[in-house]
Chains A and B, each alone.
Chain A
Amino acid sequence: MGWVGWIGNRTLKGIGECGRVSELLLDTVRWTLRRPVRFHLFVQQCLHVGVYSIPVVLITGAFTGMVLALQTASAFRLFGAESLVASVVSLSMARELGPVLTGLMVAGRVGSAMAAELGTMRVTEQIDALHTLATNPVQYLVVPRVWAGMIMLPCLVIFSDIIGIFGGRVVAVGVLGTSPATYFKRSVQYLDAADVGLGLLKAALFGLTLALVGCYQGYTVRGGAREVGFAVNRAVVVSIALILVLNYLVTAFFF
């Protein structure tokens, strides 16, 4: 049967792919612990992953907070509970929307760039050249990117959370007429460290995922320009899908 074979084939390919990504992750851990430590490469990647992503993260966070305030206000008004808008905004931003939206934006911005850069390096033999210059390509290319992803994403999420809550405040105070003092009080009233911690844990996981997937797709390119394009495409689609799946799994685990 053709379609049974097709499903079997795809499944085997998928399992093989998971195996190879895990192998790259193990290699990354192994080569992190070995000398030499190239701290400047890590700093460089932190700039790309973190600092240069700040504008897009701020815009996403601000408008998400604002629309959340508007949408919840229209529902809460029915029960006369407008003052709880602030709590909904802060909880949603910290637990879900901050990490997920930041993860998605950075996957699109940085994961794709990693796949394109490593893929081009692969097809132009630059990765082979690293090997011949006694440099492990995983240590030189993948290790700094994965660590930058894992450390910078939580930092970005802190920005996103704060600007999201601030965006909600702009709408609540400006449009809905809540007093600034009430908004602030309600924002922090139901928000505890565990909520923020969960969001940051998710962010670190998403950062690891998008950097690892981006690097893997680029690192394993075979062929030329067309295949680099496919790799970038896969890097974005796979890491976004994985972020959403992992988000559910982590949430369910701590529920």
Chain B
Amino acid sequence: MTTEQQSPENESALITVRDLWTRFDEFWIHREITFEVRPGESLVIIGGSGSGKSTLLRAMIGLLRPERGDVVVGGLDVMRSSEPALYELMRRVGVLFQFGALFDSLAVWENVTFGLQDRKLSDAERRRVASEKLKMVGLRGVEDLLPGQLSGGMKKRVALARAIAHDPEILFCDEPTSGLDPVMSDLISELILQMNERLGVTTVTITHDIATAYKIGDRIAMLYDGTILVCDTPDGIRATQDPIVRQFIEGRAHGPIRGEVAEETSTPGPGGRAG
């Protein structure tokens, strides 16, 4: 697109988020968020539920326009770009949604190859690509099923197959392992890691699962209270003395992170709930 949408500075970074502020009504979700992702890197963003991780991801793919700041992905100023330019960027990007977000009126193979529609492939060719991508995520013989007929883990894998079907340069994953058993979680993490290491895809993963973060992250950033608290290598995070990060990675209920439990002073008994 036009030159003003290009970012001449930070040429080494594939994704640049600078001084980002987002709010919902009166409530600021992000305050002064700044980070970069280099080509081929795997960044994991961790944080508690409701810390604004998913909102940050939505800002990076242009699904929401923050109050102020800059988001530059693959050279495109996402916040100020036109729709066609954004769709052009989307052809280079894959997104794995938290609950899969598969189109439930389309069969699995149509879901997987949805992003290839503009390539003018025949149905047979699309099916072949679908089978190939499904094989990459360890699925066979599910091409003609509808998403409603799949288990949670299979849905996530189909969604991953769809996200990588058009060979994206950048892969965004929103909670790729939430709601899955430990083995399936590890398998999905493994797949994302493979994408990153073997195919050189730059990945940005949002998760609250610290095991996933350690496994796939080159760097881990922790989002807390609307800002990036720390951004470090997995080893750096493991060794950190920051009490908030320590509480999060150790998964303790008590500590500096504000919990919801303490504020509920009176819990109604079983009889009290009936009314």
What's the minimum C-beta distance from A254 to chain B, rounded to whole angstroms?
39
User: Does the CB pair A133–B99 fall under 8 Å?
Assistant: no
Asked if B115 lies at the interface with its beta carbon under 8 angstroms from chain A, I say: yes
User: Does the CB pair A134–B99 fall under 8 Å?
Assistant: no
> A128-148: which residues lie under 8 A (CB-CB) from chain B?
128-129, 131-136
Complex CA distance for A87 and B97, rounded to whole angstroms: 60
User: Does the CB pair B117–A36 fall under 8 Å?
Assistant: yes
User: Does the CB pair B63–A128 fall under 8 Å?
Assistant: yes
Known contacts A36-B118, A136-B83; A131 and B97 CB within 8 A of each other: no
User: Does the CB pair B101–A124 fall under 8 Å?
Assistant: yes
Complex CA distance for A255 and B25, rounded to whole angstroms: 48
Chain B interface, DSSP helix/strand/loop, else mixed: mixed
Complex partner residue of A134 from B90, B104, B162, CB under 8 angstroms: B90
User: Does the CB pair B117–A129 fall under 8 Å?
Assistant: no
Asked if B95 lies at the interface with its beta carbon under 8 angstroms from chain A, I say: yes
Tally of A interface residues using CB under 8 Å: 13
Complex partner residue of B103 from A126, A131, A132, A136, CB under 8 angstroms: A126
Known contacts A124-B99, A125-B101; A131 and B90 CB within 8 A of each other: yes
Complex CA distance for A168 and B33, rounded to whole angstroms: 71
* B118 / chain A contacts, CB cutoff of 8 Å: 36, 134
Residue of A125, A129, A132, A136 with highest tally of chain B CB at under 10 A: A132
What's the minimum C-beta distance from B39 to chain A, rounded to whole angstroms?
20
User: Does the CB pair A125–B98 fall under 8 Å?
Assistant: yes
Asked if B160 lies at the interface with its beta carbon under 8 angstroms from chain A, I say: no
What's the minimum C-beta distance from A138 to chain B, rounded to whole angstroms?
10
Complex CA distance for A129 and B162, rounded to whole angstroms: 10
* B93 / chain A contacts, CB cutoff of 8 Å: 132
Contact mask A12-49 → B, CB, 8 Å, 1/0? 00000000000000000000000010000000000000
Complex partner residue of A128 from B101, B102, B115, CB under 8 angstroms: B101
Known contacts A36-B117, A128-B97, A129-B103; A134 and B61 CB within 8 A of each other: no
* B115 / chain A contacts, CB cutoff of 8 Å: 133-134
Known contacts A36-B117, A36-B118; A132 and B61 CB within 8 A of each other: yes
Complex CA distance for A126 and B99, rounded to whole angstroms: 10
Range, interface on chain B: 20 to 34
User: Does the CB pair A126–B83 fall under 8 Å?
Assistant: no
User: Does the CB pair B97–A133 fall under 8 Å?
Assistant: no
Complex CA distance for A129 and B102, rounded to whole angstroms: 8
Complex partner residue of A125 from B88, B90, B97, B114, CB under 8 angstroms: B97
* B95 / chain A contacts, CB cutoff of 8 Å: 129, 132
User: Does the CB pair A131–B91 fall under 8 Å?
Assistant: no
Asked if B87 lies at the interface with its beta carbon under 8 angstroms from chain A, I say: yes
Complex CA distance for A128 and B59, rounded to whole angstroms: 12
Complex CA distance for A128 and B101, rounded to whole angstroms: 8
Contact mask A107-134 → B, CB, 8 Å, 1/0? 0000000000000010011101101111
What's the minimum C-beta distance from B15 to chain A, rounded to whole angstroms?
15
Complex CA distance for A135 and B117, rounded to whole angstroms: 10
The chain B residue with its CB closest to the CB of A138 is B83
Complex CA distance for A131 and B64, rounded to whole angstroms: 11
Complex partner residue of B99 from A125, A132, A135, CB under 8 angstroms: A125
User: Does the CB pair A134–B103 fall under 8 Å?
Assistant: no
* A124 / chain B contacts, CB cutoff of 8 Å: 99, 101, 104
* A125 / chain B contacts, CB cutoff of 8 Å: 97-99, 101
* A134 / chain B contacts, CB cutoff of 8 Å: 87-88, 90-91, 115, 118
Could you jot down 10 A-B contacts, CB within 8 Å?
Answer: A125-B98, A128-B97, A129-B95, A129-B102, A131-B63, A132-B90, A132-B93, A132-B94, A134-B118, A135-B117
B contacts, CB < 8 Å to A? 58, 61-63, 83, 87-88, 90-91, 93-95, 97-99, 101-104, 114-115, 117-118, 162
A contacts, CB < 8 Å to B? 36, 121, 124-126, 128-129, 131-136
List the 4 closest pairs (A to B, CB-CB), nearest first: A125-B101, A129-B101, A132-B95, A134-B90
